[in-house]
Every structure is written in structure tokens, then in C-alpha cells.
Amino acid sequence: MKLFLKRKKDTISSLTKTRPRKLSKPLKLAGKILILVFIALSILAAGIYIGQKNQKYSLHALLPKISFKATPQKDTDAQFFSEIYNLIKNDYWDKDMDDTALSNLYLLAIQKLTSKAQVITSQDEQGIEKLIKEATKTMDPKHKIAFIAQVSDVVLQNLQPFGRSRLYGEKMITDIQNEVKNANPGKNLYDNLKVSNSSPQQEIAIAYKSRMNELQSQKQTPEVSQKMQEVQRAYDTIGDIEARKTYDVSGVESTISYKLISPRIFYMHFTRFSPTSLEDINRSAEKVNQGDELDTLIFDLRDNIGGLVDGLPYFLGPFIGPDQYAYQLFSRGETTDFKTKLGWLPSLVRYKKVIVLINGGGQSSTEVFAATLKKYNVGILVGTKTKGWGTIEKIETLKTQPNPQEKYSVLLVQQLTLREDGQPIEGLGVEPNINIANEGWENELFRRFNSQEIVNTVKELLKPDIAALPKK
């Protein structure tokens, strides 16, 4: 599926060369407001993007375990079906999903689940409702609702892009919302370092070094590598005093790991978008914001799975400036522009040379972020093409709940994200300025920055990606 979209005629502001050094509003106040806004958005599930791993949930597999009870309300099963049908018809991103196309999907789903050929009287909601009543006429109430739920989930999964839309139960939705907020209930970062939540910072630092040395001395297997990642992730959060305070209060982990590679080069690895990401970026940059030599930032977006797209107007402001047209979303034949809501971060203004690392593991909001940086020529994108996962899903809790023991919600693709050239990110991804799959990419990077130190540093960071490239 490839869409050719026309941009709006709005004038897109270009990136100015002179960057003001002050924010339009106090950063601390803006940061606090941003966190509150994000937490509220997470709870409301607005604009949530879900990665592939959420497809592990299978409603069909869970249904036999659910204890359905008949509801005394008349025709609740019909209302349940009707609400989902009209939600798809009215809110799904593709306006061509009309009664004819949607009823066709329902017909195929019913035929699949009944293993029988079906005859539809009319290609609309009424025709499908009659078909469902005929298919469930001998079923008891609990199996009737289970059947409608299965049919609805099959239809949702078969909307394009395949598998992104689903019918979920309450536990699944809670798991998704925790993923978006970067919170992991039941997981304790202190346990990863074998310390307590009352341990002083010095003890945590010692435990981190000891644990990493222990794991590095072992045979490097995928299991050991996973444990090392968990130890590093824990230290990135509780090894920092401010990030630790946030984690202790909200359970939200830090989204930034960083290091000063040399007096000239600062490296930041941005792992995912969360309510605290802007604060994480600023806190990390402030810690090294000194000296005259530091002028190069390597901003690593590799394997960043994204998160709340609603945060992008805040995240992008520190990189492209205030009140700039940042990105566009597409839905039902129309594009919508989004502008930045914050300005430059003083701690980032000093970097005159910026390299942004991307790869096929970067998806969702990360791809929009990278495409916007590319559009405004903020740094050079180096690596390989991003995943091409360009949908925005929203969770809609259904008003009709036929089973008092289960609360159903629909996860529905409502918008597509667009890259810098106006094309959908979905299926296309974001291309780097310098692709490491091409011969001579190091020479091209040298020509851009005239620095062998930068080339060597980037090459060292990209070793795993270079090793994973197909052999020529």
C-alpha cells in the first residue's frame, strides 16, 4: 500500500542559523507541565503507538478462560457488535472503509469462525447483524458474546496495516498503558543491581561495576547479554539522583543513557519516549555543559520503540526551535499539522556538529522525530533505514460491556504518520543521509565534518549494525 499525499499550502518555517539561547518559558515549569500532560494523556490513551510485541496477545486464546455471564439487558449483544462496527466505520484512518468494504470483512470473519459459507442480505450493518443472529441462534448467552468478540477481533486485525488494530480486555490495555508510560509494575530496578531502595548512591555505583564485571567475565550468550542490558538499564535510572527520585515516586525509568566520549564529543542514547524524556535529556546534557571544546553531539535513536506521539511538539522544540511546523499526520483524506510547543534547550545550543544514529529497530514516534530532524537539517542521519511502523492507534473503551467480569476496549489505527517528504512512514521508513550499507560511507561522513575523530567514534558505535549488514 503506497499513498501519494499532497502537502497543505501552509508555509513551512525553515531552520534559522542563529539559535536563541533562552527558552520562551522557564524549562522547569514547562517540564513539570509536560509530565502532568503526558501522564493524563497516557491514562486517556490518546495517540498511543504500539510496537509489534503487543501482537502476542491473542483474544481467541484467552476467550475460553473468561467466565461470561448473561446480561439482563435486552439486545446487549447487538449493541456490542454495533458499537464496534460504527467505531471502525467512523474512526478508522482509511475513509474508503465504507459499509461495503467493512461488511465484506465481517462476512469473511464469520465464515472463517463458523467454517460455513454465509449469505448476506445487504452489505451494511443490518446485513451483518442478521448474519450474526443466524450464526448464534443456538448459542447460550456467554458463547454468543464470545463469538461476537472473536468476529470483531478478526475484523480489526485484518484492517490495514494488518494486526495493528485489536479488541482487548482490561488487563491487556493496562499492560499497554504501562508500556507507553515506561513503567514496569512488578519489576524492581534495585533487584537488578542486588541493592535496596535505601542504598546510598555510592553503594549503587559499586554494585553496578561489580555486577557488570561479573557478567563480562562469563561466556557471552544471549542470556548474559540480556542480563547486562537489564543491569545497565537499572543503573541509568537509579544511578542518577534525579532519575532515581522520579522512579521512586512514579515507577518511570530514565529514557537516556549518556557518556562523554572525549572533550569534544558527547553521546546520548535515547531509548524510548516517555513522560520524563525531555527532563531526562536536559538533565543529562546539563551534566556535561561546560568547557570550550565540547561541540559535537551524537544522538542515538537506534532501537527506540517510540511512545506517545503527543509528546513530539515538546520533544522537537529543543532541536528545531519554538512554534515551528514539526510534523504531519494523515487520516481520512486529510493532513493535520503539528507545531512545536517549546523552544531551544540552552544545554543543547552549544552543539554545532550533530550526528543522529538510526536503524531498523527505530519505530513509531522515533521515526517521526528522525524525519523532522532531517527536514530541518538538524544534524546528519547516519545508519540504516528505520522500521517503517507509521501508525497512530487510539484506545477506545466501549460503552457497551456485555460481560461484567471483563471490560473491552478497541485499539484502532486512526492516523498515519508522514515523513519529511509527505509520504507515509508506514512501509517506507525514514532513510538516513548517510547509509552505512553503502561503500565509502566513512569518507562521506569525513567530508561532512572534516574530523577523523568523529568518523572513528561513529564507526565504533555502529559496529553491531555494520556486523548485521548482509554480506556482499
Series of mean pLDDT values for 10-residue runs along the chain (472 residues):
36 32 43 46 38 36 40 72 96 96 96 93 95 93 91 96 92 65 65 90 91 88 84 85 80 84 94 84 88 94 88 91 95 96 90 96 95 95 97 92 87 96 96 97 96 97 93 76
Sign (positive/negative) of CA torsion 392, 395, 398, 404? positive
pTM (predicted TM-score): 0.74
- DSSP annotation of 65: G
Count the alpha carbons within 13 Å of 359 in the hemisphere toward its beta carbon. 21
The whole-angstrom separation of Cα 276 and Cα 287 is 17
* Residue in 412, 415, 409, 414 with CA at minimum distance from that of residue 59: 409
**298 touches 268 (CB < 8 A):** yes
**132 touches 121 (CB < 8 A):** no
Q: What is the pLDDT of residue 185?
A: 54
The whole-angstrom separation of Cα 332 and Cα 3 is 12
Q: What is the pLDDT of residue 173?
A: 67
**168 touches 177 (CB < 8 A):** no
Q: In this structure, which CATH number among 3.40.630.10, 3.30.565.10, 1.10.1060.10, 1.10.287.110 belongs to the domain 184-253? A: 1.10.287.110
Q: Is the backbone peptide bond immediately before 322 cis, with ω within 30 degrees of 0?
A: no
- Which residues touch 37 (CB under 8 Å, ≥6 apart)? 310
Q: What is the pLDDT of residue 22?
A: 40
Q: What is the pLDDT of residue 272?
A: 83
Q: Which residues of the chain does CATH 3.90.226.10 include? A: 10-44+255-393+415-472
Q: What is the pLDDT of residue 176?
A: 61
The CATH T-level fold of domain 10-44+255-393+415-472 is 2-enoyl-CoA Hydratase; Chain A, domain 1 (3.90.226)
**322 touches 329 (CB < 8 A):** no
* Residue in 463, 444, 417, 394 with CA at minimum distance from that of residue 41: 394
The whole-angstrom separation of Cα 364 and Cα 53 is 13
Instruction: Using alpha carbons, list the distances in angstroms from residue 289 to 151, 257, 264, 316, 362.
Output: 57, 16, 11, 20, 27
